[in-house]
Amino acid sequence: MIVDFAGTDAAANLDADLCLVGAGAVGIATALEFVGTRLRIVVLESGGDRPEPDTQRLYDAVLHGLRCATVHDGRVRTLGGTTTLWAGQALRLDHDEFAARDWVQNSGWPLSLDELEPYYRRAERLLGVPSVAGDERDWPAGLPMPPSHDGLRRRFSTFAPSPNFETSRRAQLAAAANVTVLLHANATRLVLRDDGASVNAVEIASLGGRRGHVRARSYVICCGGVETPRLLLASRGPRTRGVGNERDLVGRFFQEHAHVNLPISGADRRALARMFHGRRIAGVRHFAKLTAAPELQRAEQLVSVGADICYDPRANVAVQAIKQLRSGPHAGSRLHAAALVAAHPRQLGSAGYRRLVLGHKASEGSGLPYFCVQAETVPRRESRVLLDGRVDALGMPRAIVDWRVAEPELRTIEQFARRLDSLLAANALGRLAQSPLPLPRDLELLSEVVAGGCHHIGTARMATTPQDGVVDTDCRVFGIENLSIAGSAVFPTGGWSNPTLTLLALGYRLADRLKAELAARPEVRPPRGRAAAITVP
């Protein structure tokens, strides 16, 4: 069922077997694993059904280092979380991205691709995409293949047909008798027992002033790479440095994907379309990409990096306006977007033909082409999320996000760009424009060139020992027996691809552990009343 905590008929205090903090991709997917069981699940969601300005302002953060604007414009406090903005792109991490690379500091997962394989398959089934490696071994018939070139590897991604979990999974959540999704319930503090070895409750609050708590046998934080460390650090008590932070690791190793757009001058658009444009195959959109081959990465000491062909979105006002209509939280901005759509019927018709008939991206071919390069960033201790002295409307300290990049990432993008330019020249497809290369080394100037990918990674990293990470290989917080973390915050490294498929795979692995543990441990506390439900249609 779905309940609004801001409503006066909703109970302030709840008991459950499992409390999930955050109703984004991994929170919802994990909750669905328990539907129909004897276990009682509570899912806490800060927002409501749609983005709300006051709720969104709880994300306001201070930006240091390389400006990470996606902290503000790439996250949504609403049922479904960032899936309400997500295009649905799914791609597995590669074998080499799980491995320790001696030229990438703090790299290496304590898990392997093989260990995650069965969970990747479950995540792919959830998203409705094929279980594929996404490279030349399983290249689908009908998808254009980019030309081969020394040092480059051809890959492809798939897109979930229904990526928005608010719309695609809402009915399942609403119908689940043993799952309570609590809207407008902001987790403000984890309350530890006196010995600090386990969580006793989660304190919750609404912007309207209601306060309460959830007591559970087990807790999972599913708040993303910024809000997860913010909640852990703000939860003082027996652990005076914050929950899970005895070794000053919570919030450290923050990563984002560094995006740089490289325009193509003199482009042969028809040839680019034949070699790079996406295709809809068996109802699923596929998209071709180029990456730096593992051999090239080792030889030239590069981080993981990839690229695909995109088009300047400013040339298609109608497409951008439609995106704003889907996600714009303000009535004024939505009205303005609707006016733009009405004013550009030809653009809208062309975009619809590309999207619905050809199975391409709506913006493909509509503006100036460019390579969108996406590089991983190195996990560094000094790249981090920490707390500001100022507080938000709920009294929680605001986050400071200090994103650091350095020579390895910048040199990788420049070296990779040279390979892309060579490929274009060898196939008479055009050449890369000079700007913005070489990349500026000054952070202020670099912030005008490098953008984030809305992928906040690594602030509660997984490790085999508490000296090296916040959670163990089961995603359990070291030293706290009933607290786990799900999502990209636990990634030791992020590779170059979108993290959603991998975080869902980890979520399924975690759900299997929790189901076994909760079933094996008898309930030791008599149940208190559940929320009086205000079911949201």
Please write down the HEC assignment for all residues of 402-432.
EECCCHHHHHHHHHHHHHHHHHHHHCCCCEE
Predicted confidence (pLDDT) at residue 401 exceeds the cutoff of 80: yes
Is 217 within the bounds of a domain? yes
Predicted confidence (pLDDT) at residue 435 exceeds the cutoff of 90: no
Q: Look at the chain and report how many structural domains it folds into.
A: 1
Looking at the DSSP bridge assignments, the partners of residue 221 are 21, 485
Rounded to the nearest 5 degrees, what angle is found at the Cα of 498, between the Cα atoms of 436 and 478? 120
Predicted confidence (pLDDT) at residue 478 exceeds the cutoff of 50: yes
Cβ atoms of 511 and 34 within 8 Å: the answer is: yes
Q: In terms of C-beta distances under 8 Å and separation of at least 24 residues, what long-range contacts does 340-349 make, across chains too?
A: 343/317, 344/317, 344/318, 345/318, 347/316, 347/317, 347/318, 347/319, 348/318, 348/322
| Helix, strand, or coil (residue 230) | helix
Mean pLDDT of 384-411: 97
Comparing 460 with 525, the larger pLDDT belongs to 460
**Per-position DSSP letters for 271-308, written without gaps between them:** HHHHHH--EEETTEEEEEEEEE-HHHHHHHTPPPEEEE
Predicted confidence (pLDDT) at residue 148 exceeds the cutoff of 90: yes
Binned at pLDDT 50, 70 and 90, residue 349 comes out as low
Mean pLDDT of 162-180: 97
Mean pLDDT of 8-30: 93
The secondary structure of 474-508, three-state, reads CCEECCCCCEEECCHHHCCCCCCCCCHHHHHHHHH
Q: What pLDDT shows up at residue 10?
A: 74
With CA atoms as reference, report the closest residue to 485 among 194, 181, 271, 249.
249
Is 222 within the bounds of a domain? yes
Q: What pLDDT shows up at residue 537?
A: 31
Where do the DSSP E strands lie in 334-376?
A: 369-375
Mean pLDDT of 265-290: 94
Comparing 41 with 527, the larger pLDDT belongs to 41
Question: pTM of the prediction?
Answer: 0.89
Is 243 within the bounds of a domain? yes
As a whole number of angstroms, the distance between CA 44 and CA 271 comes to 49
For CA atoms 514, 518, 521, 526, give the dihedral sign.
Answer: positive
Greatest alpha-carbon span in the chain: 73
Q: How remote is the C-alpha of 54 from its chain's centroid?
A: 22
Q: What pLDDT shows up at residue 532?
A: 34
Is 268 within the bounds of a domain? no
Comparing 268 with 536, the larger pLDDT belongs to 268
Predicted confidence (pLDDT) at residue 109 exceeds the cutoff of 80: yes
With CA atoms as reference, report the closest residue to 194 among 159, 238, 228, 163.
238
As a whole number of angstroms, the distance between CA 352 and CA 365 comes to 13
Q: Dihedral angle at the C-alpha atoms of 143, 147, 150, 154, nearest 10 degrees?
A: -10
Predicted confidence (pLDDT) at residue 495 exceeds the cutoff of 90: yes
Q: Are strands 186-192 and 258-265 parallel, antiparallel or unpaired?
A: unpaired
Q: Which domain holds residue 249?
A: 1-59+76-86+164-254+459-525
Average pLDDT, the chain: 90
Is 472 within the bounds of a domain? yes
Predicted confidence (pLDDT) at residue 351 exceeds the cutoff of 60: no
Is 139 within the bounds of a domain? no
Cβ atoms of 370 and 310 within 8 Å: the answer is: yes
Binned at pLDDT 50, 70 and 90, residue 92 comes out as very high
Predicted confidence (pLDDT) at residue 530 exceeds the cutoff of 50: no
Q: How remote is the C-alpha of 49 from its chain's centroid?
A: 19
Q: How remote is the C-alpha of 365 from its chain's centroid?
A: 27
User: Mind listing the pLDDT tens digit for each residue in 47-82?
Assistant: 999 999 999 999 999 999 999 999 999 999 999 999
Q: Dihedral angle at the C-alpha atoms of 484, 489, 492, 493, nearest 10 degrees?
A: 150
Predicted confidence (pLDDT) at residue 346 exceeds the cutoff of 80: no
Q: Are strands 284-292 and 199-205 parallel, antiparallel or unpaired?
A: unpaired
* Amino acid identity for residue 380 in this structure: R
Mean pLDDT of 239-254: 95
Q: How many CB atoms lie within 10 A of CB 458?
A: 32
Predicted confidence (pLDDT) at residue 496 exceeds the cutoff of 60: yes
Q: Which two tokens stand for residue 481?
A: 């027996």
With CA atoms as reference, report the closest residue to 66 among 216, 255, 218, 225.
255
Is 240 within the bounds of a domain? yes
As a whole number of angstroms, the distance between CA 498 and CA 74 comes to 13
Predicted confidence (pLDDT) at residue 95 exceeds the cutoff of 70: yes
Mean pLDDT of 122-131: 98
As a whole number of angstroms, the distance between CA 416 and CA 79 comes to 38
Query: Residue 292: exposed, middle, or buried by beta-carbon count in 10 A (0-12, 13-18, 19+)?
Result: buried
Mean pLDDT of 135-163: 96
| Helix, strand, or coil (residue 369) | strand
User: Mind listing the pLDDT tens digit for each residue in 353-396?
Assistant: 445 655 555 555 568 999 999 999 999 999 999 999 999 999 99
Q: What pLDDT shows up at residue 367?
A: 84
Residue 168, domain CATH:
3.50.50.60
Does an H or E element contain 4, and which? strand 2-4
Is 238 within the bounds of a domain? yes
As a whole number of angstroms, the distance between CA 160 and CA 88 comes to 5
For CA atoms 94, 99, 103, 104, give the dihedral sign.
Answer: positive
Comparing 535 with 367, the larger pLDDT belongs to 367
Cβ atoms of 329 and 56 within 8 Å: the answer is: yes
Mean pLDDT of 506-533: 73
